[in-house]
Structure 1
Amino acid sequence: METDRDLLPEGLEDRLPPAAAAAAQVTRAVLDVLGLHGYDRVQPPMIEFERSLASRMAGIRARKMFRFVDPASLRTLALRSDMTPQLGRIASTSLAGTARPLRLCYAGPVVTIKGDGLDPTRERLQLGAELIGNDNLAAASEIVAVAIEALSAAGAKDLTVDFTMPDLVDLLSANALPLDGDKCEPVRRELDAKDAGGLVAAGGDAYLPLLSAIGPFYAAIEKLAAFDASGALASRIAALRVIAARLGGKARLTLDPSERHGFEYQSWFGFTIYADGLPGLLGRGGSYTINSNSAARADEPAIGFSLYPDALIDALAASEPARDALFLPLGHDTDHAARLRAIGWRTVAALGDGCDAKALGCTHRLEDGEAVKL
């Protein structure tokens, strides 16, 4: 006998009341902020051809995606694990002729084959914005500031922004601190792991000072500047200082210049957003290149962010006080009930003699045209 027909697969779950309402509230708050800053919403499909999703940006890993054969085209399809490549496709095709910089935003679920680290979650809500056609200092400053504003509007408190330089090893190894080609990846890996011994064993002795240029932003950026005797990082350091100054104390700032985890396709600039009291990260962003996949059109610079607000949604749902609800008995005046809803009452109408107001979660009952507390 089948006993598990109603179980959900590992890493997937229903979002029940009041979490579903909190998710809608967070999504609406974020998209409202993005809209006010000129970002237009798009809604790409959940499923695309695998080749399109995997080729739009360098570093996209198709093995993270659920893949299957389309019975109509007999081509391989994939469930999206990240919406950013989809916006890259839209920008390079349907909106290729639209004036740049192009500001787009989105909201929807993404699915991966397995969770991240100790987190088994395989489906997450992803909200975000992409500024396409420019990845300069002004664009970077706007993107970080808008991400912070959007999360704050959604209810996140005490935010921290951690800056990084995803292509740091590539930049330094090209000239200032040369590495043999086969040593670049091990050095990146050990810097990511913050393993001094492993870094030395990988041939990255000269990169050891980077492990101390980590922490509160202003102290760490000074250490990074002192390390950069060749000046190879001078423009990046100056840019980060400007971005930090423009945030004006809206979030705590930290620096981890060699952090690579989660920055598979970002280039000169990246950042991660955290909030006190919430597990994991709330968002991640940075600069990247959109592959045009066309000889007739050049690749395009872009910068953006993705928010993953599930932890925020759970926290808001847990702290949200129960809403008042007005029980409408059989035979109530429907016009009067409509007027009550217009001024903010949530009503629950009886559908039969057996309806119990308290059991249905009501806090008040309509009697003689008045809301009477139960």
Structure 2
Amino acid sequence: MTEPEDLLPIGLEDRLPREAAAITRAKREALDAMDAHGYDRVRPPLIEFERSLAGRMGHESARTLCRFVDPASLRTLAVRSDITPQIGRIADTGLSQAPRPLRLCYAGEVAALSADQLDPARQRLQLGAELVGADTLEAISEILSLAVETLEAMGAQGLTIDLTLPDLVDTLAAGPMPLAPERIEPVKVELDSKDAGGLVAAGGETYLPLIHATGPVDTALERLRAIDAGGALASRISGIEKLAKSLEGRARVTLDPTERHGFKYYSWFGFTAYGAGASGALARGGTYRVQRSGEAATGFTCYLDRLLPALPPAPARDMLFLPTDHDPAVARRLRAEGWRTLNALTEGDDPRALGCTHRLAGAEPTRL
């Protein structure tokens, strides 16, 4: 059986006019929201030297890079699969002398060699913001609020923000709830899967209460308080309370303190944003260390394509048909006023068949 010549690879798809228009509008609104809060946009290249790009990513993430040989330098190049490491490179190089904290935002396409099991897309439009030089509670509060405002600007509704503490097990294992080094990773795995039996078998019986410290933030925090751990959790609980309060009326807040999916390289705080009708997580963010420099940072990443199913259809727009003998100066004036125009190429062009709602008659539009 012959394969169709125009078949697209798995995980790649065309975005036709209405979808492309919705994504473009959402991207514009998101960038405007971040700009309004003082985040300057940067535009790193789609392709970099593989060694540089992979060196700023975790080993697991670097495996997703599409690689090829540069015919000019004969060195291996890679197409980015994540823009965040590139922001770290920019902060370390071109903006190394800029005052901290450094506020940057971005938007651009990323591509992966293979699809994630939970997300078949291999090309995405990624955007986000990074606050480089700070990972304090105040920095987290700013990034979290900005993420919510950005998602709202894009059209997301019914937001849920799920908070997590990526280094919680490591912190407890090194102090109040000791674990042998070889048991830490198995305990994390069982906590993430919420498998009580597996947790006990992995030697993490004292960690069983963490399985139940999940759900709506108020309930989850009460259960987290009951664990106590010699007061080791007090500052974290206080911080989560403040963050949850800052989102009152804007989003539903939940807590899963041992959630690990997507947080392998984060430090002490992380969050995931979900929206009504969206396909999967809309955004993920938190605190981390910039690779190589080790500088503290806080940020978030959104994938616009996941929001598309939740966006209402774009309203139909008026289109002004311009006859072949129209006055170009009049057409320029009308476009400046906000009209969308379409030029007739022949006398026989049918404005209705071409999707026009108005026709230029002299110097003014008339409805068809």
> Quick check: 122-131 or 22-31, which moved more?
22-31
Deviation at 1:206, TM superposition (A): 1.4
Q: 1:362 aligns with which of 348, 352, 356?
A: 356
Aligned partners of 1:221 and 1:237 also within 8 Å: yes
Rounded Cα–Cα distance in structure 2 between residues aligned with 1:179 and 1:269: 21
Instruction: Note if 1:82 corresponds to 2:77.
Output: no
Instruction: Check conservation: 1:134, 1:303, Cα contact below 8 A.
Output: yes
Q: Say which is worse superposed, 122-131 or 328-337, in terms of deviation.
A: 328-337
| Letter paired with 2:140 | A
Partner of 1:303: 298
1:295 corresponds to which residue? none
SS of the equivalent of 2:273 reads strand
- The residue number in structure 1 matching 2:316 is 322
Shift of 1:265: 1.1
CA positional deviation for 1:185:
1.2
Match of residue 249 from structure 1: 249
Shift of residue 208 of structure 1?
1.4
Structure-2 residue corresponding to 1:336: 330
Structure 1 CA distance for aligned equivalents of residues 348 and 260 of structure 2: 60
Report the counterpart of residue 271 of structure 1 in structure 2: 271
How has the CA–CA distance of structure 1 residues 50 and 225 changed in structure 2, closer, same or farther, with 3 Å as cutoff?
Answer: farther
Asked whether the 8 Å contact 1:26–1:313 carries over to 2, the reply is no
Q: Which residue of the partner structure matches residue 352 of structure 1?
A: 346
Is the 1:57–1:290 contact (alpha carbons within 8 Å) kept by the matching residues of 2?
A: no
| Distance in 1 between residues matched to 2:111 and 2:53, nearest whole Å | 13
Distance 2:206 2:274 in 1: 31
1:314 Cα deviation from its structure 2 partner = 4.4
Partner of 1:110: 110
What is the deviation of 1:113? 1.9
The verdict on how the C-alpha distance between 1:289 and 1:59 changes in structure 2, with shifts beyond 3 A counting, is: farther
Query: Where does residue 42 of structure 1 map in the other structure?
Result: 42
Deviations 1:265-307, CA, capped at 9 Å, x for gaps: 1110000011112120110000000133xxxxx5210000001
SS across alignment from 1:54: helix
- Percentage of identical aligned residues: 60
Q: More deviation in 29-38 or 60-69?
A: 60-69
Letter in 2 for 1:103: R
Alignment gaps of 5+ in structure 1: 293-297
Report if aligned partners of 2:177, 2:229 keep a CA contact under 8 Å in 1.
Answer: no
| TM-score, normalised relative to structure 1 | 0.93
Q: CA deviation at 1:74?
A: 3.1
- Gap change, CA 1:339 and 1:71, over 3 Å in 2: closer
CA RMSD, Structure 1 to Structure 2 (Å): 1.8
| Preserved CA contact (<8 Å) 1:236 1:268 | no
- CA 1:90–1:358 in 2, change beyond 3 Å: closer, same or farther? same
Partners of 1:139 and 1:145 in 2: CA distance? 10
Distance (Å, rounded) in 1 between the aligned partners of 2:235 and 2:75: 45
Give the deviation of 1:226 after TM superposition.
Answer: 1.1
Mapping for residues 1-374 of structure 1, pairs under 5 Å = 3-56=3-56, 58=58, 61-292=61-292, 299-316=294-311, 319-374=313-368
Quote the Cα distance in structure 1 between the aligned partners of 2:287 and 2:112: 23
Query: Taking structure 2 as the reference length, what is the TM-score of the superposition?
Result: 0.95
Aligned length: 368
Native 8 Å contact 2:81 2:112 kept in 1: yes
8 Å Cα contact 2:266-2:288 kept in structure 1: yes
Instruction: Quote the Cα distance in structure 2 between the aligned partners of 1:147 and 1:94.
Output: 26
Change (3 A) 1:73 1:264: farther
For residues 60 and 242 of structure 1, the distance between their equivalents in structure 2, rounded to whole angstroms, comes to 34
CA offsets, 1:221-276, max 9 Å, x none? 11111113322222211111112222242211010110010112111000001111
Q: Is the 8 A contact 1:19 1:314 kept in 2?
A: no
Q: Which runs of 5+ in 2 are unaligned?
A: none
Preserved CA contact (<8 Å) 2:107 2:125? yes
